[in-house]
Each structure stands twice: as C-alpha cells, then as structure tokens.
Amino acid sequence: MSKLTRRDFLRIIASSGVIFGTGQVFAHTTYDTESALPSQIPIPPSLMLHSRHRWILPPILDYLLDNGYTGIHYADFENALLGLSALPDKPILISIDDITAVKGQNPTIIEYFGAMKDALVERGIKGTFAHITRPDLEQDDALWDELRAWTAQGIAFETHTAYHSVLGRRAMTWADYETEIITSATFITEKIGMPVRALVTPYGSGYDMATNTITPQVIQACEQAGLRFIVGIVNGRAPIRVPIQHNEVLYVGRVGPGVNNDVYGAQLEIEFWRTHYR
C-alpha cells in the first residue's frame, strides 16, 4: 500500500466534513424546521495573509481549487446573511493586509501585492486587500487607478484603518475612531468605486479577550460608516443567526497560515475551521 502523504490526508478531510475523534458530520447550514429557511449560516474559513506570504499563496490557492473551495468577498457573505444570494458549497475568505497607495510606494506595491493579486486572478479566486489609507501622506493617483482596475478582476478592498493603529487604547478619542474607521472607509469607497463592507482591525485590536467584548467605539464607528463586519483574530467563528438586522455590525475572526507560516499550516487551519465551526 502506498504511503498516505500530508496532501492526501488534507484532501480526505477537505472532502469529508468530518471532525476526527467525534464521528460527527456537520451540515453547512442549519434550517428552521417550520419555515425551511436557514436559521444560522456558518462563517466561512477566513485566511489572513500579508505580503511576506506571497511565496506560499500560489500553492495554497492550488490546494483550495483541488478541494472545491470558492473564493468570496465580505460583500458576498453579507448578501447571504441578508438572504439575497446563496453561498457556494465551500466558501473561503482570503484577506491580504497592509496595502496602501501612498506616493513613493510603487513599484513595491505592484511587485509584492500585485503578484498576490495575479495569483488570485489567474486561478479565478476572489480575494480581498485590507487598505491603510494614511491621509497624512500624499496619495499616488496612478496607483489608485491601478487598484481600482483590480476590482474588475475579482478583487475587493476593505479598510485596515488610517494609520494601522491599535484600536481600543484608552488614549484614543472619538475623533481618532472617526479618522481610523469612518474617514478611511469613506476614502477607500470614493477611490475604488465599491462600498467598503468591513473593518479589518490591525493586530486584531479592538477586542477584549478577557471579557470577550468589542470596544464600543469601534462598533459605533462601524455603524456610522455603514460597515457590516469587524474582522478580528480571536473568536468570531461561531455561525451567525439569520436574518440579521439591517444595520447590525457583526464580529468575525480570521486565522493565519499556521504557527510556521507555511502552506501546510494554512491547509490545516482552513480545514479545522470548516469542519469544526458549524
């Protein structure tokens, strides 16, 4: 008998939906027995990457394609929660942090983040870039034009705040939250031409792990900005009950590519999420 490789093992669990050790198989969606409508929808696995991961992104994407995953945007997930559209069988959220359009950053931005965009586009997988606006610095209009063109290729942009600040610090004033969240989201929407749907929090900040609560000012700023999601790191994996309220702001989590920042770690994180959080 041939030896079972790591890739073979991951392909098996990717297609099974089984949590090992319990023998249980989880449905993708829980339905209300009276109405036959979804009562809750699982949060899709959400993979957090940075430009340093550009070397491992192509094999991660190949793995996802081999195992039937479909890339979605946060807007797609929102539409599913609102009952406006259905999710694919195996959705995946891929978000890449720290892109910017500040003057003097190109061609590095295009070389690093552009390579990651190309990897997504070549495979027909949707992806999201988390943008730091830096309103204190001169913006590169040509680079903004380039990023805007990416949206026609299946790329979305969300806000990663104005200054990549740690949210929730006691020293922060409401004016700071307005700048970091509301102004940055508005600016990206105006420049890109597509509405920003999520705040991707730097360092997973704005969430108190001791109390499992979100900083109230972060929620308030997202409400005023019309954002649907706060994207952190810890927690934010449990299915979301539907229907959601029209102006409700939802907290969702992400995982990185494992402790070793490699392809295998990313695969394990994705499969654990998909099979466990149902």
What range defines the domain where residue 219 resides? 38-165+172-276
pLDDT tens sequence across 157-212: 999 999 999 999 999 999 999 999 999 999 999 999 999 999 999 999 999 999 99
| Cis peptide, bond prior to residue 107, ω within 30 of zero | yes
CATH number for position 268? 3.20.20.370
Domain contains 23: no
Domain contains 234: yes
Q: What pLDDT shows up at residue 36? A: 60
Domain contains 9: no
User: Could you give the 3-state DSSP secondary structure of residue 263?
Assistant: helix
Domain contains 105: yes
Burial 70-90 (b: 16+ CB within 10 A, else e): bbbbbbbbbbbbeeeeebeeb
Total domains in the fold of the chain: 1
Domain contains 89: yes
Domain contains 26: no
Confidence of residue 214 (pLDDT cuts 50, 70, 90): very high
Domain contains 190: yes
CB 255 within 8 A of CB 234: no
Q: What pLDDT shows up at residue 108? A: 87
Give which of 151, 249, 231 is closest to 194, Cα–Cα. 151
Domain contains 15: no
Distance in angstroms (rounded) separating the CA atoms of residues 57 and 49: 9
Confidence of residue 8 (pLDDT cuts 50, 70, 90): low
Q: What pLDDT shows up at residue 173? A: 98
Does 66 have pLDDT greater than 70? yes
